[in-house]
Structure 1
């Protein structure tokens, strides 16, 4: 039997939906899907490595509803967030006569969620979408809030806001992650602690890997609740509210791109948080003790705190393509204190360069 730990409700203008958090949820997908009235054809978008482990379980569960399921295999890696992969998904949906009442199910990490989500958002102007995040990073961040996209000459350049019908977060999936993959996801959890929920940092300072199941469940629930509150207040990122969740991401995304995605998203965000916190100190907003605390927590969980092997000019060049650029000016989320982020609308490029050179 499944064990439901919590349900986080996300209430936006475009759609209200639940995030179910618990154990053994994959075995009972039919329960959750039928609860939300999803019928017709299902496309399960995932990686072969995941399907080899969990595919039979998912298909068996969906088949109890008497539904047809088409599997769409996507190669692993950021490179799959492309026009080529997107059109391949469209072709499968068209060839199998999917209609507006059909469902795309994204089973995987951030790449799958973004790609499959964008396909669902644009196919026939929008069909049903179910997110089943398989990584910690996707469970606490990318599966919630409706941001879906593909990469084009930069990360997430072409995308949409498209909320899922529901999110199913099975904590058992985390047991198959490597320590590095799990820690990468913790970077996003730490971000929530820094900008919204300081108790997350208190918890992490009192534990180390491997984290107990109940602590993982609490951290994920807290993180999802943070994300839900922000998305409800600023669904389309237009009010300078949702943007605070980009703490660490502006410099982090530039580092990802400059490394040709050899540095993972979570690792890049960890580094980005340190640089943006240091920038906050340099500009007179933040006490250095907060930076040291952040570095201590990141280091404790094996996350990087700096990058030396990348060309700084290439990082700065990548910054110019960031979606948060406004009227040609670099916008960064800086800190006044833990739980008190600020939006800085025109950060001098020389200051960013000096921080990267530290």
Structure 2
């Protein structure tokens, strides 16, 4: 088992990574709770819910299951979970457990942060993607106008990452997770990025995965400990996300996974970096890596640049209606730059044309 402690402004919490940890929860959760609500989705619940319920045998345990997919990060499901908290009479000595991927962690954390002005919650990620979202205290739900527009900063008491649960992930979820892994490499370490760029995701081993998860969490931990509320360097973690969030909203939540959208958004951020900063970035080899690993470049074929720019202006990173873009001077050297609408539309048109040519060649 691997352990990393995250230092936040409210409390320190441990991230535990290892195999079969769901069966060891009783020894890991340090506080006694009289009531526990486990929130999961319709796919994960069938696989792991009973294991986690058994770990809290000394408490009154209830569960709430939401439909799988990004569409459940909604006001409707948020309200339904609050109703469940009230029905179960959870109090401030109760615990909410988020058992699932990034959607479950975000939704559950937001419920925990607002019910009774905040009760304890435990993150139990079951996706690679959630190595990013489970650390750092950002919790949120989506609005039809944009992703994560309703949320707060609220840290879990612990993150328990059972790598055994990752063995059931479909290919799209592995791609999704590595969209965030490669983002962390691009933000921090050229040699790690070069290593990942040679990786065929279908050949990733359990040992590779644990190494990559821990490395990614360390990158994020270092950034969020310096800037917890995103006033400065934490903005760098939004690399690729400006276009990604616009794509997710435009295509419909769930049509493309979050990490797949981030991976495509990173390619665009590289191109914008070349235009704005005259950066020399490995974009062609990065696009080849996306193709080799079946990232859905085809979803960009019918994209409308002006509509995507409109979506970007609703993004939570927009300030005074100006889009602030995370760019790269080089691998490991991110910056934030303002990009106006006209520039962005021009860059996006060129990028979409480039991607469509690549798709046509294949």
When normalised by structure 1's length, the TM-score is: 0.93
The answer to whether the Cα contact below 8 Å between 1:192 and 1:200 also exists between their aligned partners in 2 is no
The answer to whether the Cα contact below 8 Å between 1:135 and 1:177 also exists between their aligned partners in 2 is yes
> 1:104 aligned to 96, 113, 117, which one?
96
CA distance in 1, matches of 2:277, 2:25: 51
- Check if 1:56 corresponds to 2:50: yes
> 1:134 aligned to 126, 133, 143, which one?
126
The answer to whether the Cα contact below 8 Å between 1:274 and 1:305 also exists between their aligned partners in 2 is no
Match of 1:263 in 2: 256
- Check if 1:284 corresponds to 2:293: no
Q: How does 1:1-358 map to 2 (within 5 A)?
A: 4=1, 6-33=2-29, 36-63=30-57, 66-138=58-130, 140-152=131-143, 153-208=145-200, 209-238=202-231, 240-261=232-253, 262-287=255-280, 289-305=281-297, 307-344=300-337, 346-358=338-350
Provide, for residues 209-254 of structure 1, a one-character-per-residue CA deviation record: whole Å limited to 9, x for no partner: 221111111000000011111110011111x210001000011111
- Runs of 4+ aligned structure 1 residues displaced above 6 Å come to none
Provide, for residues 279-322 of structure 1, a one-character-per-residue CA deviation record: whole Å limited to 9, x for no partner: 111123311x4222322333332224571222222211111111
The answer to whether the Cα contact below 8 Å between 1:90 and 1:119 also exists between their aligned partners in 2 is yes
What secondary structure is seen at the aligned counterpart in 2 of 1:44? strand
What secondary structure is seen at the aligned counterpart in 2 of 1:99? coil
CA distance in 2, matches of 1:116, 1:353: 36
Pairwise CA distance, 1:191: 0.3
What secondary structure is seen at the aligned counterpart in 2 of 1:327? coil
Please report the RMSD computed on the Cα atoms of aligned residues, expressed in angstroms: 1.4
> Which consecutive residues of structure 1, in runs of 5 or more, have no partner in the other structure?
none
Distance 1:161 1:354, change over 3 A: same
The answer to whether the Cα contact below 8 Å between 2:40 and 2:49 also exists between their aligned partners in 1 is no
